[in-house]
């Protein structure tokens, strides 16, 4: 089989397994993006996310993760749900966290895909990740033609918009690379205009001002800065504002993964309900949900604003 044929079969398998889009890039270093990322961290824009201060050499060059790596398969999985969380009578959770955590769903899919790749090419070695390792996931996806990083810094696919999770398989075999994706933001500035905390400058985010960071990454014992607290707009876990206003999300299609569907009982949370919630109830309602990450104490802190 030619390199092109193997690449085609691998992408086909990825779609059969349930991924929404697949692209390929080489394992060459990501020097430009790594320079930008390291400068961003040096400015402190990553806040308390200390893992971002480590493993720079792996982010820059995946061959420091898997010696002999030749290619990276970049995958996107659509998680959009056909439900609009409207009205301001309740607290809001980011769409990605309405159902089961993608860390529960995607790794078995990646394991299966790697096994299929190894059936096709037995000598192939691979390492897979989905937000679980030191990779510049959005940069990889961009170079693999899966989508471009919008001015809000999320990855946007032409076909599905930005409601996608990203995953990668680093491989020791040569595959046919795709051309990089083109930036299609044009003159639009909707995300920049809509962000309530002014966390965005085009193509860059100050995480320490972003509601997602403040509600998820900031430990429960830390207070949300007084200057930002009044701007949280009812978000208690993540924030979707910059993606909700993006014109590329107008044509999103519902995800085929049933586990991402919203859990009815968590869709209209009120401050009083969270105030009353004990650990047992929190653990039951958010079992295998990303919301567990903020812990009950974090959710109470966020809903107190």
131 is catalytic: yes
**Of residues 209-268, those binding ligand SF4 (CB under 6 A):** 210-212, 239, 241-242, 245-248
Using the rule CB under 6 A, give the single segment among 34-42, 165-173, 194-202, 297-305 that binds ligand SF4: 194-202
Smaller CB separation from ligand SF4, 7 or 294: 294
Q: Which of 35, 89, 101, 131 is catalytic?
A: 131
Our finding on whether 279 is near ligand SF4 (CB under 6 A) is: no
Using the rule CB under 6 A, give the single segment among 85-93, 144-152, 261-269, 296-304 that binds ligand SF4: 144-152
Integer Cα distance of 290 and 296 in angstroms: 12
Count of residues engaged in binding ligand SF4, rule: CB under 6 A: 23
Smaller CB separation from ligand SF4, 111 or 231: 231
**Of residues 65-124, those binding ligand SF4 (CB under 6 A):** none
Our finding on whether 188 is near ligand SF4 (CB under 6 A) is: yes
Integer Cα distance of 74 and 146 in angstroms: 7
Our finding on whether 191 is near ligand SF4 (CB under 6 A) is: yes
CB of 88 to ligand SF4, least distance (A): 16
Residues interacting with ligand SF4, by CB under 6 A? 150-152, 185, 188-191, 195, 197, 199-200, 205, 210-212, 239, 241-242, 245-248
């Amino acid at each position: 089989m030619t390199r092109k044929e193997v690449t085609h079969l691998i992408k086909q398998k990825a779609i059969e397994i349930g991924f929404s889009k697949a692209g390929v890039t080489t394992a060459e270093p990501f020097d430009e993006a790594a320079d930008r990322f390291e400068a961003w961290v040096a400015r402190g824009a990553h806040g308390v996310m200390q893992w971002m201060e480590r493993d720079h050499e792996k982010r820059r060059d995946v061959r420091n993760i898997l010696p002999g790596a030749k290619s990276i398969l970049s995958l996107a999985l659509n998680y959009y749900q056909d439900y609009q969380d409207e009205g301001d009578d309740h607290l809001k959770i980011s769409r990605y966290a309405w159902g089961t955590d993608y860390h529960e769903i995607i790794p078995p899919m990646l394991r299966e895909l790697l096994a299929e790749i190894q059936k096709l090419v037995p000598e192939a070695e691979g390492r897979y990740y989905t937000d679980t390792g030191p990779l510049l996931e959005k940069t990889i996806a961009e170079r693999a033609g899966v989508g471009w990083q919008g001015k809000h810094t999320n990855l946007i696919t032409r076909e599905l918009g930005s409601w996608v999770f990203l995953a990668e398989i680093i491989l020791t075999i040569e595959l046919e690379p795709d051309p990089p994706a083109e930036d299609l933001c044009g003159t639009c500035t909707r995300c920049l205009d809509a962000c309530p905390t002014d966390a965005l400058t085009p193509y860059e985010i100050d995480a320490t001002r972003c509601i997602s960071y403040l509600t998820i990454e900031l430990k429960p014992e830390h207070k949300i800065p007084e200057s930002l607290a009044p701007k949280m707009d009812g978000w208690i876990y993540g924030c979707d504002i910059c993606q909700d206003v993006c014109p590329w999300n107008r044509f999103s299609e519902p995800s085929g993964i049933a586990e991402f569907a919203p859990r009815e009982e968590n869709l209209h949370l009120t401050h009083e309900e969270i105030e009353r919630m004990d650990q047992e109830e929190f653990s039951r309602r958010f079992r295998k949900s990303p919301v567990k990450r903020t812990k009950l104490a974090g959710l109470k802190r966020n809903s107190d604003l």
